[in-house]
């Protein structure tokens, strides 16, 4: 990405260089061991906080730093160099867990929850998806009834990133009647009585912890209500827009890493006396991958520019996510094919990225749901 690119200022480029040095120092030497261990150390949160990575986009009064959607793209691109989606998801789980608190929470709740997360001392997660459904938020079943100065939660959440070790769980619950008008948001402390958690093993995203959460008469202080009771639905919907932009940026960034590994391999690998890059079939694959990457980047940056200008182009965001996922699937699949056996064994970036295509196609709203939502937004 050129420093003269119209969307990226000198400040953006300085941020990129700082983050790149940090990834080189703190992540790349260790990521293979973390993948094998199925976890990265909690200490990484504090190290990320030191360079301002965790604070991006949150109020300065609580330890945050200003950002725009292009900082999000840069962050996704630089973290993707480790080719470990679980690392990005787990380290940045607060980017979906904290925004409802920052936008809707009381001043006291913000002051209690946001600073320790942005300092890397506590971990934040978002809990919306349930065993009975994910994107159909208006019909969630986990309930919260008022009992004096507490809410009492009953139900389950699943596929929750950072769910095992989160200290603050921003949880969507039903406090009222059916539909979107009965949805509220509460922050569940990690040590709340009545909360239990079990880990989930996954196809990819190995070094992120993912959990199912169980609420059995789980008592949460009423002061942990985010915003007004029965008014949480729109806060969650706005959260989805930013999450989907980040997922699209991640898909594009991982596709780029897979392409670069395949290109490097094609230049070095010799078959029948000639480098692979000299084979027309391989060159054509690489050209198709590069074209897909450039088209996806242009779409991504066009949507980011609209969001920076204050728009919420929901249809565009949905279509972008699907387009970026398709790009990732294309580039990861062809990268493994070009690498051959070397792309099938663990240790290749393309192998790990290939296993992680599906989680981005599902997370934040499955591809089929994105198409339907885009169509409705377009009035079809």
- Give the pLDDT band (50/70/90) at residue 135: confident
Of the residues 229, 261, 290, which one is the last residue of a structural domain? 229
Residue 132: both structure tokens together: 């009975």
- Least reliable range by pLDDT among 27-31, 40-44, 234-238: 234-238
Which tens digit of pLDDT belongs to each residue from 215-267?
Answer: 999 999 999 999 999 999 988 988 899 999 999 999 999 999 999 999 999 99
The answer to whether 353 and 257 have CB atoms below 8 angstroms apart is yes
Query: Distance from CA of residue 3 to its chain's centroid?
Result: 26
pTM over 0.85: yes
Averaged pLDDT, 169-184:
95
In a domain, 134, yes or no: yes
Verify that 137 and 261 share a domain, yes or no. Answer: no
Helices assigned H by DSSP within the chain: 10-26, 31-37, 43-50, 69-79, 85-91, 94-97, 99-104, 107-118, 233-268, 280-308, 314-339, 341-344, 349-355, 357-362, 367-377
Verify that 202 and 250 share a domain, yes or no. Answer: no
In a domain, 3, yes or no: no
Verify that 323 and 267 share a domain, yes or no. Answer: yes
Q: What angle do CA 53, 40, 110 make, to 5 degrees?
A: 45
Cα 137 from Cα 210, distance rounded (Å): 20
Verify that 269 and 306 share a domain, yes or no. Answer: yes
Q: 60 an active-site residue? A: no
User: Whole domain around residue 350: which residue ranges?
Assistant: 234-377
Mean pLDDT of all residues belonging to the chain: 95
**Could you tell me which of 23, 1, 26, 25 has the C-alpha nearest to residue 12?**
1
Q: Which residues, 6 or more positions from 33, have their beta carbon under 8 angstroms from its beta carbon?
A: none
Of the residues 229, 256, 275, which one is the last residue of a structural domain? 229
| Count of Cβ atoms closer than 10 Å to residue 326 Cβ | 17
Of the residues 74, 101, 118, which one is the last residue of a structural domain? 118
Report the interhelical angle of 280-308 vs 314-339 (nearest 10°): 160
From the list 35, 77, 229, 243, the catalytic residue is 243
The answer to whether 76 and 253 have CB atoms below 8 angstroms apart is yes
Instruction: Give the number of domains in the chain.
Output: 3
Most confident residue range from 108-112, 240-244, 270-274: 108-112
Q: What is the CATH number of the domain that holds 89?
A: 1.10.540.10
Residue 114 in 3-state DSSP? helix
Asked whether residue 3 carries a pLDDT value surpassing 70, the answer given is: no
Verify that 240 and 225 share a domain, yes or no. Answer: no
The answer to whether 102 and 110 have CB atoms below 8 angstroms apart is yes
Verify that 89 and 170 share a domain, yes or no. Answer: no
Q: What is the CATH number of the domain that holds 255?
A: 1.20.140.10
Q: Report pLDDT for 308.
A: 96
The answer to whether 164 and 184 have CB atoms below 8 angstroms apart is no
Verify that 39 and 99 share a domain, yes or no. Answer: yes
Which tens digit of pLDDT belongs to each residue from 288-315?
Answer: 999 999 999 999 999 999 999 999 999 9
Q: Which residues, 6 or more positions from 357, have their beta carbon under 8 angstroms from its beta carbon?
A: 251, 325, 328, 329, 332, 333
**Could you tell me which of 131, 242, 142 has the C-alpha nearest to residue 185?**
142
Q: Report pLDDT for 133.
A: 74
Largest CA distance in the chain: 79
Q: Report pLDDT for 268.
A: 95
In a domain, 250, yes or no: yes
- Give the pLDDT band (50/70/90) at residue 118: very high
């Amino acid at each position: 990405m050129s420093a003269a690119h119209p969307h990226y200022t000198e400040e953006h480029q300085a941020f990129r260089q700082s983050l790149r040095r940090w990834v080189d120092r703190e992540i790349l030497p260790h990521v293979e061991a973390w993948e094998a261990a199925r976890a990265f150390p909690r200490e990484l949160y504090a190290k990320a906080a030191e360079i301002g990575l965790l604070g991006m986009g949150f109020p300065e009064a609580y330890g945050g730093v200003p950002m725009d959607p292009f900082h999000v793209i840069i962050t996704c691109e630089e973290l993707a160099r480790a080719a470990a989606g679980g690392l990005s998801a787990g380290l940045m789980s607060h980017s979906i867990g904290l925004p409802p608190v920052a936008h809707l929470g009381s001043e006291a709740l913000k002051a209690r929850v946001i600073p320790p997360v942005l300092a890397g001392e506590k971990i934040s997660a978002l809990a919306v998806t349930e065993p009975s459904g994910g994107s159909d938020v208006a019909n969630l079943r986990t309930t919260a009834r008022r009992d004096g100065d507490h809410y009492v939660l009953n139900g389950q959440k699943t596929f929750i990133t950072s769910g095992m070790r989160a200290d603050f769980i921003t949880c969507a619950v039903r406090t009222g009647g059916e539909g979107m008008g009965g949805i509220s948001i509460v922050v569940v402390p990690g040590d709340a009585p009545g909360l239990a958690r079990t880990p989930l093993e996954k196809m990819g995203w190995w070094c992120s912890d993912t959990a199912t959460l169980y609420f059995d008469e789980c008592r949460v202080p009423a002061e942990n209500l985010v915003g007004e009771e029965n008014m949480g639905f729109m806060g969650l919907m706005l959260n989805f827009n930013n999450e989907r932009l980040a997922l699209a940026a991640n898909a594009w960034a991982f596709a780029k890493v897979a392409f670069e590994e395949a290109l490097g391999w094609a230049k070095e690998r010799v078959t029948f006396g000639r480098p692979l890059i000299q084979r027309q079939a391989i060159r054509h694959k690489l050209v198709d991958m590069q074209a897909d990457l450039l088209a996806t980047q242009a779409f991504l940056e066009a949507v980011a520019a609209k969001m920076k200008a204050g728009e919420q182009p929901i249809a565009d965001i949905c279509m972008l996510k699907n387009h970026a996922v398709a790009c990732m699937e294309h580039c990861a699949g062809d990268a493994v094919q070009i690498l051959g056996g070397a792309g099938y064994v663990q240790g290749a970036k393309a192998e790990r990225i290939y296993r992680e295509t599906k989680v981005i196609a599902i997370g934040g709203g499955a591809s089929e749901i994105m198409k339907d939502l885009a169509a409705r937004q377009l009035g079809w």
